Amino acid sequence: MVNVVAIVLESVSSIAKQYHEEFFLLEIVSITIFSIEYIIRLWTCVDRVKYAAIEGSNTKRRLHYIFSPLALIDLIAILPSLLMFFFMLDLRFLRVLRLLRVFKLTRYSRAMQLLLQAFIDEGSTLLAAFFIMAVVLILASCGIYLLEHDIQPDKFGSIPAAMWWAMATLTTVGYGDVVPITPIGKLFGGVITLVSMGMVAVPTGLLASSFSEQVRKRRQVFENAVHEQITNGTLSEEHLSHLEDLRYKLGLSKLEANKAIKVQLNERSEHMFCRNCGKRP
């Protein structure tokens, strides 16, 4: 995160000139740490269960790891700087690409991992929604072009130029720099605005639903683990330690974990009876 902030501040010319050496030193340290981390992860990935199950040589397993999402993020974090250092490239877009290091936070943020998994699970549905939005965008651009082209040739001179208005309208942003002025154009714009309210909500709803489902699944996994660990209505220190590790891996809060444990203990106690008297303990 410090590295990303430094890259942002470096874009300010006055700050970049004053702290040029500090920024350069930070970049050297960062790229060294990130490179070592990447090499270690690449070398040790063959010991993970996920990649150890892949048939073939360790080279094949490492190739699978290289093209995994998290490994690609790690590579993107170091590649721009390596290109600038070793090939003496000083291209502006390479400097901007260093900001992609912010995606390394997904490795350490459970919430970001949940969101990423939600994108993956709903990938096909999201693509379908975006395709429909693209169709509506083109139709809106064509429509406003036909209605406003003769009146405002400077603003709606072509369909691509009209796409700016259509995009701002479909996303309900409405910058106001380009607006229809004819009655029929205003009516058309109103219809597009009403349509866009539902269109924009579709991807948001899909992601929210998938995110909630991911959280529910992780809670269910933890609850099942608690149910399996309970012995005679209690949990040993060893079991609690195991559940704590699982809680951390699943990204659940301690409040959620304690609630799940309490529920499972209560359910187990309700089904326990004394063998001698037949009463609940």
pLDDT above 90 for 1: no
CATH of 2-108, one of 3.30.360.10, 1.20.140.150, 1.20.120.350, 3.40.50.1100: 1.20.120.350
Segment 157-161 mean pLDDT = 90
| Distance set, CA 73 to CA 36, 101, 106, 114 (Å) | 15, 7, 9, 16
Rounded to whole angstroms, the Cα distance separating 78 from 38 reads: 9
Q: In terms of DSSP H, where are the helices of 171-182?
A: none
| Entry pTM | 0.59
Two tokens, residue 137: 């965008």
| Distance set, CA 182 to CA 1, 151, 170 (Å) | 50, 8, 19
pLDDT above 50 for 273: no
pLDDT above 80 for 29: yes
Rounded to whole angstroms, the Cα distance separating 76 from 99 reads: 10
Segment 162-185 mean pLDDT = 87
Rounded to whole angstroms, the Cα distance separating 86 from 1 reads: 25
The reported pLDDT for the residue numbered 270 is 58
Mean pLDDT score across all residues of the chain? 79
The reported pLDDT for the residue numbered 175 is 82
Two tokens, residue 90: 């000083």
CA end-to-end distance (rounded Å), the chain: 53
| Distance set, CA 184 to CA 4, 145, 166, 207, 269 (Å) | 48, 12, 16, 36, 70
Helices 183-229 and 110-121: angle between axes, nearest 10 degrees: 120
Minimum mean pLDDT range among 12-16, 49-53, 126-130, 192-196 = 49-53
pLDDT above 60 for 268: yes
Residue in the structure block whose two tokens are 């699944």: 217
Two tokens, residue 147: 């209605």
Q: How far is C-alpha 135 from the chain's CA centre?
A: 26
The reported pLDDT for the residue numbered 187 is 94
Instruction: For the chain, give the number of residues.
Output: 281
* Residue 58 amino acid letter: N
Segment 186-193 mean pLDDT = 90
Question: Where does 109-281 sit in CATH, by number?
Answer: 1.10.287.70
Question: What is the longest distance spanned by two Cα atoms in the chain?
Answer: 94
Q: Higher pLDDT residue, 230 or 25?
A: 25
Q: Check if the beta carbon of residue 82 is closer than 8 Å to that of residue 34.
A: no
Segment 123-148 mean pLDDT = 89
Spans of all domains in the chain:
2-108, 109-281
The reported pLDDT for the residue numbered 138 is 93
Rounded to whole angstroms, the Cα distance separating 26 from 49 reads: 35
